[in-house]
């Protein structure tokens, strides 16, 4: 949820204690106490704003002798001097930041509300590709409730020092209860030919070595490292079960887009990258320098079936074999493919979080709180570039890896380009290599190693 930075005080009193010490000599001045009344009721002049300057502990005489300062002064907002106007403007900025109430009655000193957006911590935008991909699976409602309960623990584990283990325990017990009570309905949502595999996974989720019962024991031991490992294992099992529950798209594509290739589930692409200048990639821990490296990308047809489908078709057509890469501070891009007659000009395709199907040719209004199911604000996000002519369409060929850096992000940690590109997957294995890719490096080969059975190609006739 987004909140504009526009707020102030109604009928409120704000106090400051200020100590004034002359620079030329030491002084035993007592602190001065300022009281600012905004829209308050003045017994002498109702409805007017005032500023009282009162010395603390009635040291009025001492202040007069040392400074000759006029105190107990009454100042109306009408006819005030430029200095007072500046002072009150500063006070209003402080009030705007500190108060949740709207401005009323301050037409004399208008301050335009900021257009920036603050995002509540409750927004919980996925910060890893694995988390975003797991949330994107259109699975059984009970499974999603179990998933949500466990993912809450991911955020609780970030709390420093005293972690809320009691709350974590409650979350796991809630997940266990649903998993036990709704077992039949959850397994019934898995296709018959996959149900045996689903039953095995389900048993491991509850009573397996890294299942929910084991996770509960780790929480009772208050061992955050073991909790983190057990939680990751349980969430991986949940994702496997959810993928069994979602064998295809949960929505119908618009009629005008039936002619495009489409991916009706998940796929995995493996890219082999080599240095263009003959140098090597830095070695892994304890390893040797490497002339080539591999990066695996999970592409998601559940959220972007057309974009993922077009990319998958280009992969099996070997369109990216030999393609040169270009590196910037924010992205690693393929070449634009203008010399190749490959790919479809797919419409911009973004599925809003919580919605049933993607939007086409429409960017999201992130400042208004719209967020995509597959956010760009994740290191290793994979998206298509915009079309050369019209940003309502993606490039038929050019894709990029987004090198998200929160230091360059906006308020709430979101990229300034969030909601403007068709994100269709994430680099998972090998994403640490992305920072080593330089302009001139080459995609030696690109293969679709999983998901070709879920790729639907149009009738070329």
Res. 334: pLDDT tops 90: yes
Residues 29/71, Cβ–Cβ less than 8 Å: no
- Tell me the two tokens of residue 157: 């584990």
Distance CA 394, CA 379 (A): 21
Distance CA 411, CA 381 (A): 19
- With bands split at pLDDT 50, 70 and 90, how would you rate the model's confidence at 341? low
Choosing among 2.60.40.1930, 1.20.120.290, 3.30.420.40, 3.30.230.10, the CATH entry for 139-245 is 1.20.120.290
pLDDT of residue 84: 63
* Lookup result for tokens 């929160």: 406
- Tell me the two tokens of residue 448: 């679709």
The pTM score is 0.72
Other Cβ atoms closer than 10 A to 384: 27
Res. 109: pLDDT tops 80: no
pLDDT of residue 184: 94
Question: Which among 373, 331, 335, 337 is positioned nearest to 355, based on CA atoms?
Answer: 373
pLDDT of residue 10: 33
Mean pLDDT over the full length of the chain = 80
- With bands split at pLDDT 50, 70 and 90, how would you rate the model's confidence at 286? low
Question: Which among 315, 329, 330 is positioned nearest to 381, based on CA atoms?
Answer: 330
For the stretch 270-279, pLDDT in tens is 999 999 998 9
Q: How many residues does the chain have?
A: 461
Question: Which among 179, 155, 177, 180 is positioned nearest to 168, based on CA atoms?
Answer: 155
**What percent of the chain has pLDDT above 90?**
60
The more confidently predicted of residues 82 and 21 is 82
Domain ranges for the chain: 139-245, 259-456
Same-fold call for 139-245 versus 259-456: no
pLDDT of residue 126: 86
For the stretch 232-241, pLDDT in tens is 999 999 999 9
- With bands split at pLDDT 50, 70 and 90, how would you rate the model's confidence at 459? confident
259-456 topology per CATH: Cyclophilin (2.40.100)
In sign, the C-alpha dihedral spanning 84, 85, 86, 87 is positive
Q: Per residue in 167-197, is it b (16+ CB within 10 Å) or e — as a string?
A: ebeebbebbbebbeebeeebbebbeeeeeee
Distance CA 318, CA 110 (A): 61
Which among 38-52, 116-130, 295-309 has the top mean pLDDT?
A: 295-309
Res. 148: pLDDT tops 50: yes
Distance CA 440, CA 459 (A): 37
* Lookup result for tokens 């935008």: 125
What is the pLDDT averaged over residues 309-329? Answer: 95
Other Cβ atoms closer than 10 A to 347: 22
Angle at 416 between CA 412 and CA 422, to 5 degrees: 110
């Amino acid at each position: 949820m987004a909140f504009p930075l526009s707020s102030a005080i109604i009928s409120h009193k704000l106090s400051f204690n200020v100590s004034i010490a002359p620079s030329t000599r030491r002084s035993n001045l007592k602190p001065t106490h300022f009281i600012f009344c905004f829209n308050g009721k003045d017994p002498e002049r109702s409805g007017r704003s005032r500023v009282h300057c009162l010395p603390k502990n009635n040291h009025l005489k001492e202040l007069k002798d040392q400074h000759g300062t006029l105190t107990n002064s009454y100042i109306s907002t009408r006819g005030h001097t430029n200095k007072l106007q500046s002072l009150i403007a500063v006070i209003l900025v402080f009030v705007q930041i500190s108060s949740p109430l709207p401005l009323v009655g301050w037409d004399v000193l208008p301050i335009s509300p900021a257009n920036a957006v603050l995002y509540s911590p409750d927004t919980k935008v996925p910060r890893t590709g694995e988390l975003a991909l797991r949330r994107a699976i259109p699975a059984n409602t009970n499974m999603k409730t179990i998933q949500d309960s466990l993912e809450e623990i991911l955020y609780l584990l970030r709390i420093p020092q005293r972690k809320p283990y009691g709350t974590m325990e409650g979350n796991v017990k809630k997940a266990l209860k649903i998993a036990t009570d709704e077992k039949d309905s959850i397994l019934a949502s898995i296709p018959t030919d996959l149900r045996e595999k689903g039953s095995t996974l389900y048993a491991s989720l509850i009573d397996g070595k890294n299942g929910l019962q084991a996770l509960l024991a780790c929480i009772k031991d208050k061992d955050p490292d073991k909790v983190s490992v057990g939680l990751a294992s349980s969430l991986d099992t949940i994702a496997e079960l959810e993928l069994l529950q979602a064998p295809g798209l949960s929505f119908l594509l618009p009629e005008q887009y039936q002619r495009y290739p489409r991916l009706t589930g998940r796929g995995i692409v493996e890219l082999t990258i080599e240095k263009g200048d003959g140098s090597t990639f830095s070695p892994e821990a304890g390893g040797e320098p490497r002339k080539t490296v591999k990066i695996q990308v999970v592409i998601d047809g559940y959220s972007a079936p057309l974009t993922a489908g077009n990319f998958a078709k280009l992969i099996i057509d070997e369109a990216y074999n030999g393609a040169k890469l270009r590196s910037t501070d924010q992205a690693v891009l393929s070449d634009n493919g203008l010399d190749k007659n490959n790919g479809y000009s797919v419409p911009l395709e973004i599925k809003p979080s919580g919605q049933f199907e993607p939007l086409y040719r429409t960017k999201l209004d992130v400042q208004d709180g719209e967020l995509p199911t597959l956010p760009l604000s994740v290191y290793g996000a994979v998206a298509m570039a915009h079309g050369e002519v019209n940003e309502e369409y993606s490039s038929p060929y050019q894709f990029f890896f987004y090198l998200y850096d929160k230091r360059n992000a906006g308020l709430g940690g979101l990229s300034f380009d969030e909601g403007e590109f068709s994100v269709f997957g994430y680099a998972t294995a090998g994403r640490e290599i992305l920072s080593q890719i330089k302009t001139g490096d080459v995609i030696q080969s690109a293969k679709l190693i999983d998901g070709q059975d879920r790729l639907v190609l149009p009738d070329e006739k």
